[in-house]
Amino acid sequence: MLQGWVIAVTSFAYLGLLFAIAYYADKRADAGRSVIASPYIYSLSLAVYATAWTFYGSVGRAASDGVGFLPIYIGPTLMIALWWVVMRKILRISKENRITSLADFIAARYGKSALIGGAVTVIAVIGILPYISLQLKAVSNGFLILTQYPEIVMPAKFGAVPLMQDTALWVALILALFTIAFGTRHLDAAEHHEGMVAAIAFESLVKLLAFLAVGVYVTFVVYDGFGDVFERAAASPALAPILTPLEGVAGSYSSWVWLTILSMLAIMFLPRQFQVAVIENKDERHLSKAIWLFPLYMLAINAFVLPIAIGGRLQFPLGIVDADTYVLTIPMAGREELLALLVFIGGLSAATGMVIVETIALSTMVCNDLVMPVLLRMKSLRLTERPDLTGLLLGIRRGAIVLLLLLGYLYFRLAGEAYALVSIGLISFAAVAQFAPAALGGIFWKGGTRRGALAGLVAGFLVWSYALLLPALARSGWLPIGLLERGPWDIELLKPLALFGLQGLDQITHAMIWSMVANVGAYVAVSLAGSPSAEETRQASLFVDVFRRSGDAGGARFWRGKASAPDLRNLLVRFVGAEAADGAFAAYARARGLAWPREPLPADAGLVHHVETQLAGTIGAASARIMVAAVVKEEALSLEEVRTILGEASQVVMYSLQLEQKSRELEAATAGLRAANERLKDLDRLKDDFLSTVTHELRTPLTSIRAFTEILNQEPDIGVAQRQRFLGIVTKETERLTRLINQVLDLAKIESGRADWHESRVDMREVVADAASAMGQVFQERGIRVELKLPERVRAVSADLDRMTQVMQNLLSNAVKFCSPGDGHVEIELCEQAGWLRVDVRDNGPGVAPRDREVIFDKFHQVGDTLTEKPQGTGLGLPISRHIVEHHGGRIWVQAGAPGAHGSAGACFSFTLPLLRDAALEEAA
Amino acid sequence: MGEFETRGQRLIALCLLGCLLFNYPILAIFNLPGTVLGIPVLYAWVFGAWAALIALMAWAAERKD
């Protein structure tokens, strides 16, 4: 069943499916409904880290040295924990500066240096080529092995094949076409490839499922679970190195450590990882899910590596079947055709995912940071005057993709067979690790300079070439092998694999130690020896302090010169097209509150900066700088001026912090004053109310006294009985007047704190009984039934006896006033509650409405409409009672009482007093 | 910002913990012959600690204070 055409058709169907997914995602993105704006898609797209190298190579490495493959996946797990700090910063910087690639990022940090961008691009291309060739090798080998089914024959046995019959060449060409279709269909101003990301996320699922399927097959179908696999391995002496892998070998721990560090750096600085993690990121909050989902993915895809490796070693004699192909050959040996096909598709998805993203990232770098800066500098081409450059940009990128894949194929053809998959991948890892000092140093250390970064990159790259690339070429037969064994010119100290006599380490560890020493050393030393230029100082500040600046265009304040808005627009149109350019201008105008194009935009520093940033999003920071400089007249800022601006900026930040502090204090003070003012106004109003109420209250009895005395005075022949009655009224009104004045004086005394209090031990039962009997006459007159509910005995309180009597009389006379005559009912109850004595006075009158329950304790407040109804009291009884109760440390309030006869709510006035502490002791005695 | 800083510090601490767990000398302690539940001790340790570390990272990264 597994003929060549079946495999080919299946592969093309799979690629077609990928393309459909990408097409759908692109359409959705154009409609503004992105499918990739999800933390899950983001996490899956990060899994482009797992390439064909993981898919086939992990088993290969595990088959020879056991756990040795694991640091490559543990390293990223450790690194991604730091992403919340490191990657969030890189994301923020990249969004603000519209970074398009790793080279662009490093170049922008060091003064938008085209030289640095070019150097990074060259290192990345040379370093990554073997890695791309590895993918081609994996796919073409997989295809060749599968077509031999049911035989298991290694492709190396075929010998040299003619160029046009080489599967790898066809794989490279197909992948190049596919990548062009994916990544460079049109020019996106923001360098987002939504369709590509969606397809990559899907590929990550496919390769995981395929690998898990073969893992489950080997572990549970061929063998009988993990225990069985390891038991059989233990029984075979040849497999001992797999089971006790770190046994006493000198340097194995150091190799473990360096592999971990290497992969920690690779997860950040492989161009494809930077592409999916930074450039294609939609939202920095996606990090919080990716931080644990991506490591989980790696754990899952590694879980079955060892069982497969052991299974392969047990099934196939050493040397016949390449361990890198066990994933494919074990299902073939078991006659599982479908599973073998699935594995091939899994490997294909791992390889295509890597190739697509890597070549898109590299082609962007080649175009923006290598070719364009050179073309723009060549005055004879007059590129700065061409009306439309979008076609040129796309052409360069497409050309770069084809070139990269053909170079990858060339490497495969010339040198690919000398190494196992894992070694090739590690050589690439070591190359991109050279970016770490300049990139990480650049975002945390302002002191790093352009010269320092360049020196570090070049030094690290040279050591890498000498210690890793040179031996690779020598082993492939392109250089004399004696170079490795005796060193150049027979100088022992310069042997590429034991530089300066450092021996006993594996090749990668050895190269990493020396290249990092050279790289970091040169970066730090050269940076410290010189001093940065104005442009570098400014970019350093924009990068390192990215979280400290506010959202305004931070770069704009460093620009001074003359420009014209139409020139700037034309410039943008040439690179991104009229539509995108107008969109960018409109967005800028909106932020400024201008109705562009009706109102002209001022061609100030802000606009120039905006255009440069937009441009940088398409052609990279360094090229954008050149283009903008060509259309505007700018004055170069000196280093001193930049420093002054930075100094001013930090002073402004400090001042504004101080201002904020001050204004917060002021606000607090103002709020306090306003509250005090409100209180004063309230008091003032209360005083006015008080005065007018008092005079009103005094005038009522005075008026009637005056009226009756005038009658008595003017009518001498009035009858005795009549006279007696009038005099009685006058006396009563005078008494009322006296009472009122006494109460006013009383209240004033209590309020001002000048009242005399005569505290003594008081038995409230007596007070209640006395007050009730003193009012007995009044109750009888009105026909009101009084009920006393007094306990046998209560504990004493400390109180002023006369004042407490006054409170009781106030409450009782209130109750009398509001009870309906005839069927009135007043109930007085006394009880103890947890340290308090509580007195309730209930009546069956109309009750107090809930909204009045607080205000009736205010002075002169009388419930009801005072204009139409005759007030029934002085309005001072309750305020005085409240003052007295509160003076004794108690509380007074009113609530609904027992319902009255006519359905009236009734009122219950209650107050509490604290019980005497030693009253309890007395009771105990 | 406060919450982001706390999260960053927890994750940095977990990274350091990971560096400790997957390194000499802790790794050497588990570099023994013999098996745990049928799995060689070293593999059991690496995969177990790895899974535990991922769980802790999930807790630290997703926790809302």
d(CA A115, CA A455): 11
Residue pair A96/A88 in contact (Cβ under 8 Å)? The answer is no
Closest residue of chain B to A87, computed from CA coordinates? B8
A205, pLDDT greater than 90: yes
Tell me whether residue A238 is exposed, middle or buried, using C-beta atoms within 10 angstroms of its C-beta: 0 to 12, 13 to 18, 19 or more.
exposed
Q: What is the pLDDT of residue A23?
A: 87
For residue range A588-631, list pLDDT tens digits in order.
888 877 777 777 777 777 788 888 888 887 777 777 877 777 77
- Kindly report the nearest CA distance between residue A227 and chain B, in angstroms: 4
A897, pLDDT greater than 90: no
A388, pLDDT greater than 80: no
For residue range A222-241, list pLDDT tens digits in order.
888 888 888 888 888 777 77
User: Is the Cβ pair B39, A226 closer than 8 Å?
Assistant: yes
Q: Quote the percentage of chain A above a pLDDT of 90.
A: 23
- Kindly report the nearest CA distance between residue B58 and chain A, in angstroms: 5
A461, pLDDT greater than 90: yes
Mean pLDDT, range A493-498, rounded to an integer: 77
User: Is the Cβ pair A257, B57 closer than 8 Å?
Assistant: no
A180, pLDDT greater than 50: yes
Q: Quote the percentage of chain A above a pLDDT of 70.
A: 88
Q: What is the pLDDT of residue A210?
A: 94
Q: What is the pLDDT of residue A354?
A: 92
Q: What is the pLDDT of residue A120?
A: 94
What residues of B are in contact with residue A246 (Cβ under 8 Å)?
A: 27-28, 31, 42
* Interface size, chain A vs chain B, as Cβ–Cβ contacts under 8 Å: 103
- Kindly report the nearest CA distance between residue A258 and chain B, in angstroms: 11
Q: Which CATH number fits domain A641-749: 1.10.287.130, 1.10.1530.10, 3.30.210.10, 1.10.10.10?
A: 1.10.287.130
Which span out of A35-49, A531-545, A768-782 was modeled with the highest average pLDDT?
A35-49
Question: A156: closest CA among A526, A418, A496?
Answer: A418
Residue pair A412/A435 in contact (Cβ under 8 Å)? The answer is no
d(CA A47, CA A80): 12
Among the partner residues B12, B19, B54, nearest to A85 by beta-carbon distance: B12
User: Is the Cβ pair B54, A287 closer than 8 Å?
Assistant: no
Band of pLDDT at residue A516, cut at 50, 70 and 90? very high
Q: What is the pLDDT of residue A916?
A: 79
The total of other beta-carbon atoms located within 10 Å of residue A861's CB is: 17
- Kindly report the nearest CA distance between residue B33 and chain A, in angstroms: 7
What residues of B are in contact with residue A296 (Cβ under 8 Å)?
A: 54
Report the amino acid identity of residue A902. H
User: Is the Cβ pair A85, B51 closer than 8 Å?
Assistant: no
Mean pLDDT, range A63-72, rounded to an integer: 83
Residue identified by tokens 């009771």 is A923
Band of pLDDT at residue A793, cut at 50, 70 and 90? confident
Closest residue of chain A to B7, computed from CA coordinates? A84
Mean pLDDT, range A658-684, rounded to an integer: 89
User: Is the Cβ pair B39, A257 closer than 8 Å?
Assistant: no
User: Is the Cβ pair A246, B19 closer than 8 Å?
Assistant: no
d(CA A845, CA A825): 8
Tell me whether residue A592 is exposed, middle or buried, using C-beta atoms within 10 angstroms of its C-beta: 0 to 12, 13 to 18, 19 or more.
middle
Q: What is the CA radius of gyration of chain B?
A: 15
Indicate the domain borders of chain A. 33-378+398-419, 550-637, 641-749, 760-924
User: Is the Cβ pair B18, A299 closer than 8 Å?
Assistant: no
User: Is the Cβ pair B18, A77 closer than 8 Å?
Assistant: yes
User: Is the Cβ pair B15, A81 closer than 8 Å?
Assistant: yes
Q: Could you tell me whether strands A891-896 and A907-914 are parallel, antiparallel, or unpaired per DSSP bridges?
A: antiparallel
d(CA A656, CA A662): 10
Closest residue of chain A to B37, computed from CA coordinates? A227
User: Is the Cβ pair A67, B46 closer than 8 Å?
Assistant: yes
Among the partner residues A231, A291, A299, nearest to B51 by beta-carbon distance: A299
Closest residue of chain A to B48, computed from CA coordinates? A299
What residues of A are in contact with residue B43 (Cβ under 8 Å)?
A: 67, 306
Mean pLDDT, range A542-550, rounded to an integer: 74
Which span out of A38-42, A416-420, B35-39 was modeled with the highest average pLDDT?
A38-42
Question: A448: closest CA among A548, A515, A520, A370?
Answer: A520
Q: What is the pLDDT of residue A767?
A: 86
A863, pLDDT greater than 80: no
The better pLDDT of the pair A179, B16 is held by B16
d(CA B47, CA A226): 13
Among the partner residues A82, A289, A303, nearest to B12 by beta-carbon distance: A82
The A-side interface with B (CB below 8 A) comprises 67, 70-71, 74, 77-85, 88, 225-228, 230-231, 234, 243-247, 253, 256-257, 260, 287-289, 291-292, 295-296, 299, 303, 306
Q: For residue A828, what are the β-bridge partners?
A: A788, A841
Mean pLDDT, range A409-416, rounded to an integer: 76
What residues of A are in contact with residue B7 (Cβ under 8 Å)?
A: 84, 288
Q: Report the Cα A511 to chain-centroid distance in Å.
A: 38
User: Is the Cβ pair B61, A291 closer than 8 Å?
Assistant: yes
For residue range A751-785, list pLDDT tens digits in order.
777 777 888 888 888 888 888 888 887 888 888 88
d(CA A177, CA A196): 14
DSSP helix/strand/coil, A839: strand
Band of pLDDT at residue A870, cut at 50, 70 and 90? very low
User: Is the Cβ pair A299, B50 closer than 8 Å?
Assistant: yes
Six-digit token string for A613: 């940033």
Among the partner residues A245, A287, A295, nearest to B42 by beta-carbon distance: A245
Among the partner residues A67, A228, A299, nearest to B43 by beta-carbon distance: A67
- Kindly report the nearest CA distance between residue A260 and chain B, in angstroms: 9
What residues of A are in contact with residue B51 (Cβ under 8 Å)?
A: 299
What residues of B are in contact with residue A243 (Cβ under 8 Å)?
A: 33, 40
What residues of B are in contact with residue A88 (Cβ under 8 Å)?
A: 4
Residue pair A323/A58 in contact (Cβ under 8 Å)? The answer is no
Band of pLDDT at residue B2, cut at 50, 70 and 90? low
Among the partner residues B7, B23, B55, nearest to A84 by beta-carbon distance: B7
Band of pLDDT at residue A924, cut at 50, 70 and 90? very low
Mean pLDDT, range A64-88, rounded to an integer: 89
The better pLDDT of the pair A804, A158 is held by A804
What is the rounded average pLDDT for all residues in chain A? 82
Tell me whether residue A548 is exposed, middle or buried, using C-beta atoms within 10 angstroms of its C-beta: 0 to 12, 13 to 18, 19 or more.
exposed
A903, pLDDT greater than 60: no
Six-digit token string for A785: 């039934």
Q: What is the pLDDT of residue A207?
A: 93
Distances (CA, A) of A107 to A120, A280, A401, A624: 8, 19, 22, 12
Q: Report the Cα A301 to chain-centroid distance in Å.
A: 28
Six-digit token string for A760: 């003594």
User: Is the Cβ pair A71, B22 closer than 8 Å?
Assistant: yes
Tell me whether residue A868 is exposed, middle or buried, using C-beta atoms within 10 angstroms of its C-beta: 0 to 12, 13 to 18, 19 or more.
exposed
Mean pLDDT, range A799-828, rounded to an integer: 82
A689, pLDDT greater than 90: no
User: Is the Cβ pair A81, B18 closer than 8 Å?
Assistant: yes
A341, pLDDT greater than 80: yes
- Kindly report the nearest CA distance between residue B49 and chain A, in angstroms: 11
Q: Which CATH number fits domain A760-924: 3.50.50.60, 1.10.240.10, 1.10.760.10, 3.30.565.10?
A: 3.30.565.10
Q: Which CATH number fits domain A33-378+398-419: 1.20.1730.10, 1.10.3470.10, 3.40.630.30, 3.50.50.60?
A: 1.20.1730.10
Closest residue of chain B to A81, computed from CA coordinates? B11
Closest residue of chain A to B22, computed from CA coordinates? A74
- Kindly report the nearest CA distance between residue A912 and chain B, in angstroms: 45
A455, pLDDT greater than 90: yes
Closest residue of chain B to A292, computed from CA coordinates? B58
What residues of B are in contact with residue A77 (Cβ under 8 Å)?
A: 18, 50, 53-54, 57
For residue range A87-134, list pLDDT tens digits in order.
999 998 888 888 888 999 999 999 888 899 999 999 999 999 888 888
d(CA A613, CA A618): 9
Among the partner residues B38, B42, B57, nearest to A291 by beta-carbon distance: B57
What residues of B are in contact with residue A291 (Cβ under 8 Å)?
A: 11, 57-58, 61
Band of pLDDT at residue A186, cut at 50, 70 and 90? low
